[in-house]
Amino acid sequence: MKHFFWLYFLPCLIFPVAVHASGDPTPAGGRSWALAGTAITLADGWAVYNNPGALARVKDASLMTACDVRYGMAGFTTVAFAGVLPLASGNGGISVDRFGDQLYSEQRLGVAYSHQMDRVSLGMKVSYTQIAISEVGVKGRFVFQFGGVAEITPQLLLGAHIYNFTQARLADYQDERLPTVLSAGISWRPVPQLMLNVETEKDIDYTARFKGGAEYQIAKPFFLRMGLATNPGTNHFGFGFKAKKLNLDYAFRTHPALGLSHHLSLYLKLEKKGAKAKNAE
């Protein structure tokens, strides 16, 4: 089985400037991708992926699905599904996603919970991550993550997130572990139509990445978005359509060596938080 781990890092050997290691957390949802992944303060249903600490700020029960196609390669496609459910105290969420093909794949199933206390929301998520390589083997581990968002003012938010804080070990051979990634950022909303995000992301084994994103509401249902990230340098663009019950978000990303990636997501709002209780009175 030790040969499994050479193949485990095969994407890093082939695309060293594009991929750090298997099992890395990545943004979910077209909005997040268009903002270069500056998503840890976003109070939408994709917080179940991007930062469970923001999940308590979501106002609607919702269902989501997304498809992420990278570099025009079928084997670099991710399909994700998620849901958010308001609870008596806080919000819960569930996520399922799959990356790869028959030769190499990653599957994840996660459950998250978040609670808000005044201007601070905190959340945790536990996921089971399984990595499979054809004719080599399958390995799976539990991954824990924790995050939070603090509202300094209604226009200024701070967020932080840590992925795999237990440093889950994939195998004893060369002490192979799933990535541990720390993120922190700030979001400034000077007017309701404009949002500016800045974040830093640090895999403990790699150089830090710096990311910036901007979202502008050009008309009531339409949003334009863009972002930049370093290490590697990528450019991100996208748009969103936000109806009463359904959101549609699209983004594309340019990579200096590998070309374009496309990201499409749908977001269905089911019921506002607290609506059941009001209807029952």
Q: Would you state the structure tokens that stand for residue 8, as one six-digit string?
A: 């485990």
Domain around 147: 3-280
The pLDDT assigned to 216 comes to 97
pTM: 0.85
* Number of structural domains found in the chain: 1
The Cα 259–Cα 133 span in angstroms is 26
CATH number of the domain to which 229 belongs: 2.40.160.60
Residue identified by tokens 């399958």 is 138
Q: State residue 102 phi and psi, 5-degree precision.
A: -70, -25
Helix, strand, or coil (residue 44): coil
pLDDT of res. 172: 66
d(CA 63, CA 47): 12
Compute how many other C-beta atoms are within 10 angstroms of the C-beta atom of residue 117: 9
Those residues whose C-beta lies under 8 Å from the C-beta of residue 280, and which sit 6 or more positions away, are none
DSSP characters over 175-219: GEE---EEEEEEEEEEETTEEEEEEEEEETTS--EEEEEEEEEEE
**CA distances for 261 relative to 94, 132, 201, angstroms:** 25, 23, 20
- At residue 168, the pLDDT reads 86
**Residue-wise pLDDT tens for the chain (281 aa)?**
344 444 444 444 333 333 333 455 678 899 999 999 999 999 999 999 999 999 999 988 999 999 999 887 777 889 999 999 999 889 999 999 999 888 888 899 999 999 999 999 999 999 999 888 887 788 888 999 999 999 999 999 999 999 999 988 876 666 678 899 999 999 999 999 999 999 999 999 889 999 999 999 999 899 999 999 998 899 999 999 999 899 999 999 998 888 889 999 999 998 766 554 333 33
Instruction: Report the SS3 class of residue 135.
Output: coil
pLDDT of residue 273: 61
> Which 8-state DSSP code applies to residue 89?
S
pLDDT computed for residue 96 by the predictor: 95
70-80 as b/e, with b when 16 or more CB fall inside 10 Å? Answer: bbeeeebbbeb
Token pair 């989501």 in the structure block, residue: 64
Length of the chain: 281
Question: CB burial class (10 A; 0-12, 13-18, 19+) of residue 280?
Answer: exposed
